[in-house]
Chains A and B, each alone.
Chain A
Amino acid sequence: MTQHVKLTINGRPYEADVPSRLLLVHFIREVAGLTGTHIGCDTTSCGACTVLVNGTPAKSCTLFAVQTDGANISTVEGLEQGGTLHPIQEGFYEEHGLQCGFCTPGMMMTSIAFLQENPDPTDDEIRHAISGNLCRCTGYMQIVKAVQYAARKMRDEQATPNTADSSAATATEAEVIR
């Protein structure tokens, strides 16, 4: 059984007839071809597949694509804007928040949503926020520092608003796949 699904990913529309059972993570990876979102467990445990669905972090291995029909999805590929890294990307780079990099996209997406809610967190609050994302390489310390780096930078940016229009160019026409 197939169903028609229309999603916006990183500001760009995607449409396809897909099997009803197609997982959102496979829509993102295989249909949209955005392979930055990873699969580490397929049982909602590791967070490698975390994306933002209408701004809220969700483990895309445990959602069907049809459940998110019409939603706005953000993935790691949408973070860099106009050649400038998102503060969270910069934080992970500066603070050595990644090693193999497999957990990193999910970690960053979770952290971004968390920082929207809590722009000035304690280390413990960060640890709590990312506790649904497993990392086998780093021991989390540098990830916590990376999130603090991003928090600082985002607070600074808030304090001195950038007047330039930062909205990304969005494709206007739906790219119909299949």
Chain B
Amino acid sequence: MTTDAAAIGGMGHSVKRKEDARFLRGKGRYIDDIKLPGMLYMDIVRSPYAHANIKSIDASKALALPGVLAVITGKDLDAAGLAWMPTLMSDKQMVLPVDRVVYQAQEVAAVVATERYIAADGVALVEVDYEPLPPVIDPFKALEPDAPLVRPDREAQTNHIWHWESGDKARTDQLFNEAEVTVKEHIYLPRIHVSSIETCGCVASFDKVSGKLTVYMTTQAPHAIRTVYSLVTGIQEHKIRIVSPDIGGGFGGKVPVYPGYVIASVASIQTGLPVKWIEDRSENLQADSFARDYHITAELAAKNDGTMQALRVKTLADHGAFDAAANPSKFPAGLFSIITGSYRLDAAHVEVDGVYTNKPSGGVAYRCSFRVTEAVHTIERMVDTLAQKLQRDPAAVRMQNFIQPDAFPYKSATGWEYDSGNYPAALQKAMEKIDYAGLRREQAEKRARGELMGIGISTFTEIVGAGPSHTFDILGIKMFDSCEIRVHPTGSAIVRIGVQTQGQGHETTFAQIVAEELGLPVENITVEHGDTDTAPYGLGTYASRSTPTAGAATAVAARKIRDKAKKLAGHLLEVSPDDVEWVDYHFQVKGVPGRSVTMKDIAFAAYTNFPPDLEAGLEAVDYYDPPNLTFPFGAYICVVDIDRGTGMVKIRRFVAVDDCGNIINPMIVDGQIHGGLTMGMAPALFEAITYDENGNMQQSNFMDYLLPTAMETPVWETDKTTTPSPHHPFGAKGVGESATVGAPPAIANAVVDALSHLGVTHLDIPITPWKVYQILQEHGAAES
């Protein structure tokens, strides 16, 4: 008996997505599509000031408007002990302020009304009397002794939040003192915003009879939210149900608990009716969590022959008014210490200081929440800076300094144990694919003619898939993940997972894992997630952790089922289970291909004909605690042409060779990489959030905050190498954020390369036409 592998649709097949059937017909169920009987609408009054005392709030005119049922203020929440809530980073944040606002667009009050438009009318009628205070906008000035305090509520009367460091300072300093060559750059990675096309929102529904609170919520981590809700409100956890419906893009922006969720829940408990709250785009851009905002000073020490020796990094991290970053609890600066990248270094020392400013809380996510993008950008820029100083080719310097394939598992200078990698092979492949040597020749010819062309490389190492639980937790909840599989008597199955999809295609890929392990056709497997009443406990989907953690749990749960199935197979084949083997998606008597049973036969037997010493049924649960993180990597090469008349950077080619270990669904991985590259290009060339000196946010809509359209996005050329993770059950690594992490330095390096003959050694992103044009003008290289 042979099985048609394509019909099973297991590992490595580009199975078309199950979830598409509803999305293509307009039958998705996103948050704003949910309408419950008697549902009310909530809208939020927001602060026009970045820093102000609230002298009074007069809601009388709003309350007089027909249809307005309630106006909720900080004082109301304070009475219930809910004016503040904990953040994930041992800080607390305001749900609604009692007497002060600390950033522009902060939630000040909420209006609950019978209709959406009436709630908005009510917002305009709430009169708030503010006394403006001087805001703290510049994080460096925030540390000056006379700086106004952003958080007088804290015991420590300073804007400094914490100091974090990693590595060996003494050894690093020593290597710098003795170094033959050193390079240094100031690198600023500006604030950016994920801007998933769907904004955030919720429908909270409190059932007064049962006392149960159900919240449909745009969240990437429903279980963690349920636990936090229970701890904060005191409602028993079994009386809280969080449902994450279809999510219109997450990218980390839907990990935090936003005040709107909590206020809507309070409003529902108060009114006994369902309450819907949906952000508009300006609210989303102005008030939801931000990423990056790292002011980095980096130094690299090397020998004259290009051998890299040590890295020294100091960073000021602007966290806004609350430290609400979405990092594992013990990691205030996330996994920033992955900053030694793909290179052998004798020592490294990295410091980060977190600072409060009068801005919304930052440090959350932009398709990478754990500061890996900041780390990769720094090391990949510094390698280029070194190559430039030594007048060496940046590819050659990388090849010279790579951790070699036989050195894995490799202990990095900051203590991470990289699981597997083959960096030279990935770079070699990218160089061949793009014809690196040919491009360098072309560049020389063009430069002789005065044309500006640049080639940029990024050979990044990522770190994804948190746990292991001994190191990683969120508010004490360990970062494992889970899967529960039930095989039905007629050979189909339901799979429930603790992670949550926002477009990654889990309903397809997790079914493929089970198909592969059990030999059941992928079309007969349903995957469910996102409902805390039915899904097993998990920490959610972000930071590329789904496949490394819940994917592993799914394989392990399936293997538990297969172990039991083997016993049933022995029973059916009338041999000892020891004489049965799993071959080609079915069980057969060892060496006798003619005597076999399929998983479908076994499933039926599990309910109809099982041996007396075996329990009925065919199901399993696994809570998987990964022994280590996974370390995907890639080699990206970008070619840019610069218009001397406008300073416009055009990406002519971009080759991305990614290695995420064994792949479940190549089509989906390619899609993840295309999207990730586009979200890597965006901050490199277009996106940044800035504030004026009064703390007014300057990009509060899509006319000022420039998401790439199809016009700016190039044709991505993707390829892969495959270096399986040795510790993952099927050798996979995460992939969702790799390209977003790896792409920006490739682009920045290409632009610097194009301008290097003018003496340019660094450009901060986003590299806008205006920035480039000014440089061209300074050097008399602009075309008028």
Contacts and interface: CB of A to CB of B under 8 A. Distances in A.
Q: Do A and B come from one complex?
A: yes
B671 interface: yes
B529 to A, nearest CB: 14
Given A39-B32, A45-B702, A144-B710, A139 B678 contact: yes
Contacts of A34: 26
Interface string B259-291: 000000000000000000000111000000000
A89 to B, nearest CB: 4
Contacts of B197: 38, 40, 46, 48, 100, 102-103, 134-136
B679 interface: yes
Given A75-B26, A80-B25, A38 B248 contact: yes
Q: Which of B20, B280, B676, B707 has the most CB of A within 10 A?
A: B20
B696 interface: no
A151 interface: no
Contacts of B246: 100-101
A139 B673 CA distance: 8
Contacts of A120: none
A100 B196 CA distance: 10
Interface string A118-154: 0000010011101111111111111110000000000
Nearest to B703: A45
Interface in B171-200: 194-199
B248 A138 contact: no
A160 interface: no
A138 B502 contact: no
Interface in A56-83: 75-77, 79-80
A38 to B, nearest CB: 7
Q: Which of A85, A98, A144 has the most CB of B within 10 A?
A: A98
A42 interface: yes
B702 A43 contact: yes
B28 interface: yes
A175 interface: no
Q: Is the interface of B mostly helix, strand, loop or mixed?
A: loop
A58 B709 CA distance: 18
Contact count band on A: 35 or more
A100 B23 CA distance: 8
A56 B781 CA distance: 46
Contacts, number: 169
Nearest to B709: A131
A85 B676 CA distance: 29
A91 B715 CA distance: 19
A137 B503 contact: yes
B166 to A, nearest CB: 33
Nearest to A104: B23
Q: Which of B280, B667, B668, B674 has the most CB of A within 10 A?
A: B674
B77 to A, nearest CB: 28
B677 interface: yes
Contacts of A36: 25-28
Contacts of A29: 32-33
A49 to B, nearest CB: 11
Nearest to A123: B715
A3 B117 CA distance: 16
A38 B198 contact: yes
B20 A46 contact: no
B707 A143 contact: no
A21 to B, nearest CB: 7
A86 to B, nearest CB: 9
A38 B30 contact: yes
A19 interface: yes
B713 interface: yes
A21 B116 CA distance: 12
Given A45-B703, A104-B23, A143-B710, A99 B281 contact: no
B298 to A, nearest CB: 29
A142 B28 CA distance: 20
B504 interface: yes
A155 interface: no
A174 interface: no
A76 B33 CA distance: 15
Given A34-B26, A43-B281, A136-B251, A127 B711 contact: yes
B411 interface: no
Q: Which of B19, B23, B247 has the most CB of A within 10 A?
A: B23
Nearest to B27: A36
A141 B715 contact: yes
B675 A99 contact: yes
A137 B20 contact: no
B16 interface: yes
Contact of A127 (B249, B282, B710): B710
Interface in A1-59: 19, 21-22, 26, 29, 34-43, 45-46, 48
Contacts of B30: 35, 38, 102
B20 A93 contact: yes
Contacts of B60: none
B716 interface: yes
B112 to A, nearest CB: 18
B248 A102 contact: yes
B198 A100 contact: yes
A94 B16 contact: yes
Q: Which of A19, A130, A137, A144 has the most CB of B within 10 A?
A: A137
A78 B276 CA distance: 28
Interface string A94-112: 1010111111110010000
27 contacts: A21-B117, A35-B26, A36-B26, A36-B28, A38-B32, A38-B248, A40-B197, A40-B281, A42-B280, A76-B25, A77-B26, A85-B24, A96-B668, A96-B670, A98-B23, A99-B503, A99-B675, A100-B197, A100-B248, A101-B19, A102-B196, A102-B248, A127-B710, A133-B709, A134-B709, A139-B676, A139-B713
Given A102-B28, A139-B674, 16 more contacts: A38-B248, A43-B701, A76-B26, A96-B670, A96-B671, A99-B675, A100-B503, A104-B24, A105-B26, A134-B197, A135-B710, A136-B194, A138-B678, A139-B713, A140-B674, A141-B715
Task: Please provide the 9 A-B residue pairs with the shortest distance between their CB atoms, ordered closest to farther.
Answer: A36-B26, A101-B23, A102-B248, A100-B503, A139-B674, A45-B702, A99-B503, A76-B26, A139-B678
Interface of A: 19, 21-22, 26, 29, 34-43, 45-46, 48, 75-77, 79-80, 85, 89, 92-94, 96, 98-105, 108, 123, 126-128, 130-144
